[in-house]
Amino acid sequence: METIYDEIEIEDFTFDPITQLFQYPCPCGDRFAIALDDLKDGEDIAVCPSCSLMVRVIFEPEDLEEFEEELK
Amino acid sequence: MYQVLCCGSNGQYQLGIGNDTDQLELVAAKFEIDGTVTTQLAAEPVEVVCGGNHTLVLFSTGEIYSCGDNTFGQCGHQGGQTIEVFRKIDGKWAKAACGWEFTILVDLEGKVYSCGRGLKGELGLGKGVDGNQLREVIDFGPQAVLSVRSSLNHTVVQLADKRLFGWGNARKGQLGVQNAIGTKLESVIWQPRQLKFEGLDDLQVRFFDVGRDYTAFYSNDYKEYGKKATEKVHVNGDVVGLRTMWSSSHLLVKNEKHLSIKSFGNDSHGQLFPQSAHPVVQQFEIGSEHGLILTDQNSVMAWGWGEHGNCGERSGDEVYEDDLSAAAVTYSLNTIYNQAHPVTRLGSGCATSWITIRKL
C-alpha cells in the first residue's frame, strides 16, 4: 500500500512556467514535483526524484487557472 | 581532539566529506583549517545546524564552518560553487540557524545576519532583497538573544526578556497574529518584528521550536501555531525539552530520574518515538523526519524515516531488497554509534545525522 507522507496545499508549491512543474521541499533535501498537466488530468500525488516519499497536493480544479494564465 | 561523524543524505555535499554520495555508515566530516584538510579538531564543536542541503558547525571558539549547497550563498560564502568540505565563515558567532536555502547568524554583539535565498521573507531583509552574501538584519544588542530557530521558511528569535521576534512565511499562522493587508491577511513577514501568538504568554515560554509550517511552544502546557492542529497534549512528568521534526513534535520528559520522549503529529514513517522502547535518554536531537538519542551507555540510536542512511544500516533480520514501502524506510531505534569515544553532541538535519565525539 502506498503511504502518503503528507498533504500540501497547492499555494505552498512553487510553479515554474518553463518546466511547468510544481515543486515543494522534500525532507531529504530534494523537491517533490508534479506537472501542471498531471494536475489537470486529476492526478494529485507529487513524487520526489531522490526518494520514495510522496505528498498529496490539495487543490481545486479552478486553482489551476491562474497558473495556466502564467503560460499565456 | 574532537571529530564530527555523520551519515545520510549527501547529494549536495552537505556532509562535508568531499564527495556527494549518501552515507549509510558514519564517516568523519572534513574541515579545511589553515589550508589543511583534516578530520581532527582541536576546538570543541558545540552545535551542528542543518539547512535543506547545507550544514554549519559552530565551535566553542565562536568560529563557524559550513559546507554543502551554496547556490544562493547560504553557506555564508560567495554564492555559486558547492562547498565540498567544511570551510570557515569570517567572524565570530554566538548562534546559528538554518532553513531551506538560508542561514541566520548572530554575532557576539547580538547583531543578526542572514544569507541565502528567501522568496518568502526568510532573510528578514525586506521584500525583493537578495541575500547572496551575509547582511545585517537587526541589532538586538549584547546578550539579548536567547535562542534562534529556523525551519523551512520561517525564523523565530527568543530574546533574554522573553519577547519573541520572527520573520518569513506567515501564511498558516506560524508567526502568530497576521496583519490585514486590504481584505487579506499578510502571508509573509518581510522584516523582523515582535510576534504575538493568541493565548500565549511570552514570559512563560520555557521551550520553543519551529516545524515545517508551524511553531511549537511549551510553557505550562504545549501549544502550537500554524498548519498542524494537535489536540490537547497530556504529559506526565516534567517537560525539559522540545524539538520538532517538519511535521511532528517531541517533548523530552523527566519522570522520576529518567528522561523519555513523548511525540505527537505525523507518524507516516515511524516519526513518533517508539513507546515500547525504554532506553535511558541523555540527549536528543531531531531532524526533518527522524530523530537521534544518546543513551546512558554512550550509544546513539536513530528512529523515524531513514531512507538515505540517516538512521544507519538496519541491524535486524528484516530484508527489504528493492522494497520502497514505508516499512522498508522506517526505523525504530537503530544503533548507529556504540564505540568508546565519548559522544559530546548530536545533530540532525534533512535526512542527515551528526555525532560529535571526543577522541580518547
pLDDT digits (tens, 9 = 90+) for B228-279: 666 678 888 899 999 999 999 999 999 887 899 999 999 999 999 998 877 8
Question: What are φ and ψ of residue A29, in 5° steps?
Answer: 110, -25
Alpha-carbon gap: A53 to the closest alpha carbon of chain B (Å): 8
Contact B293, B284 (CB under 8 A): yes
Which residue type, as a one-letter code, is found at position B342? P
Average pLDDT value for chain B: 94
Q: In whole angstroms, what is the distance from residue B307 CA to residue B351 CA?
A: 8
Helices (H), chain A: 36-40, 65-71
Characterize the bridge pairing of strands A6-9 and A54-58: parallel
Structure-block grid coordinates of residue A62: 479552478
Option in B14, B52, B307 nearest A51 (CB): B307
Q: What residue segments make up the domains of chain A, in order of their start?
A: 6-71
Supply the DSSP symbol for B201.
-
Do B305 and A27 count as a contact with CB atoms less than 8 A apart? yes
Residues in B closer than 8 angstroms to A50, CB to CB, are 9, 11
pLDDT value, residue B131:
72
User: Is B317 a residue whose pLDDT tops 80?
Assistant: no
Domains within chain B, CATH numbers bracketed: 2-358 (2.130.10.30)
SS3 B115: strand
User: Is A19 a residue whose pLDDT tops 80?
Assistant: yes
Structure-block grid coordinates of residue B59: 565551535
Supply the DSSP symbol for A69.
H
Do B350 and A27 count as a contact with CB atoms less than 8 A apart? yes
SS3 B104: strand
Burial class of residue B26 in the structure, from the number of CB atoms within 10 Å of its CB (0-12 exposed, 13-18 middle, 19+ buried): buried
Alpha-carbon gap: B307 to the closest alpha carbon of chain A (Å): 7
Residues in A closer than 8 angstroms to B247, CB to CB, are 6
Option in B11, B119, B287 nearest A50 (CB): B11
Alpha-carbon gap: B80 to the closest alpha carbon of chain A (Å): 18
pLDDT value, residue B168:
98
pLDDT value, residue B321:
62
Q: For B328, name the nearest residue in chain A, comparing CA atoms only.
A: A52
Mean pLDDT within B5-34: 97
CA B349-B351-B333 angle, to 5 degrees, is: 100
Residues in B closer than 8 angstroms to A5, CB to CB, are 266, 268-269, 289
User: Is B314 a residue whose pLDDT tops 90?
Assistant: no
> A6-71 has which fold?
Microbial ribonuclease fold (3.10.660)
